[in-house]
Amino acid sequence: MGHDTSGLVLVVEDERHIADLIRMYLVREGFGMHLCADGTDGLAAARSLAPVAIILDIRLPGMDGLDIVRMLRAEGNWTPVLFVTARDDEVDRILGLELGADDYITKPFSPRELVARLRTVLRRTAGTLDASEKLQVGAVIMDLGRRRVLADGRDVVLTATEFDLLSTLLRRPGLVHSRERLLSQVWGYAAAAGTRTVDVHVAQVRAKLGDASPIRTVRGVGYTADA
């Protein structure tokens, strides 16, 4: 158990047997857990408890998970979110990721995999990078220690996942990264089905950077950062 993975995790899940299973594995791994069974309570808890991460079902009574994240992000709350969805379709996944979720997992899932994904998200958020390191490609500057991004001189707010994706590309300007490579390096797992996640996150980073974005698509291969 690493010191960077302890803390209170907010779980918003209305299926009791799934919530109990998640609790068992989180407690075993040294996390605290607060459970909410509906979206309205989940949003209130996210605001008041300052959890280290939120495991959030999409379909909830009261308020769905997408609305919860939309409201938190609008308030400037960037607590890492891992979505749980029962529907294995692209719509929920992409909507969730565009809202600033850090990852998702589809039911039925392995509790071990859920905890592994959570650990990866928390490692990213903790920022274990060299505090003095800065990267620059074109008009984009990344201060890795402060986790700050400037594009044409303006501050750009990125999620932990978006930040790590951009830094991976900027560390090796001109190198073409396949989607599978990015999935492995940034998300910490490899699955062909996950490459759509990479595309969605790249689109989000490009949109936030605007005209300053150095990210270029290499057709049929992946992505690169060019000055």
57 lies in the same domain as 95: yes
What pLDDT is stored for residue 131 in this prediction? 53
Query: CA 74 from chain center: how many Å?
Result: 16
> 28 and 110, same structural domain?
yes
Query: Both 115 and 165 in a single domain?
Result: no
Residues 118 and 45 in one domain: yes
Last residue of a domain, one of 126, 149, 174: 126
Domain region containing 191: 134-225
Decide if 7 contacts 54 (C-beta within 8 A): no
Say whether both 13 and 120 belong to one domain.
Answer: yes
Distance CA 44, CA 36 (A): 10
Q: Are residues 18 and 109 in the same domain?
A: yes
- CATH code for position 99: 3.40.50.2300
Question: At 42, which amino acid appears?
Answer: G
103 and 178: one domain? no
- Do 203 and 221 lie in one domain? The reply is yes
CATH number of the CATH domain containing 141? 1.10.10.10
pLDDT digit string (tens) for the chain, length 227 residues: 333 446 889 999 999 999 999 999 999 988 889 999 999 999 999 988 888 899 999 889 999 898 999 899 888 888 899 998 877 665 666 666 777 788 888 888 888 999 988 988 887 766 544 456 788 999 999 988 788 899 999 999 998 889 989 999 998 888 899 888 888 778 776 666 667 888 999 999 999 999 999 999 999 889 999 86
* Number of domains the chain is built from: 2
Last residue of a domain, one of 102, 126, 150: 126
Calculate the CA dihedral of residues 191, 114, 48, 27 and round it to 10 degrees: -160
> Do 114 and 140 fall into the same domain?
no
* 107 and 145 part of one domain: no
3-state secondary structure of 219: coil
Instruction: Among 126, 147, 182, identify where a domain stops.
Output: 126
- Check whether residue 10 and residue 100 sit in a common domain: yes
Find the helix or strand (DSSP H, E) in which 205 lies: helix 195-209
Judge if 200 and 104 occupy the same domain: no
DSSP letters spanning 103-165: EEEESS--HHHHHHHHHHHHHHHHT-S-TT-EEEETTEEEETTTTEEEETTEEE---HHHHHH
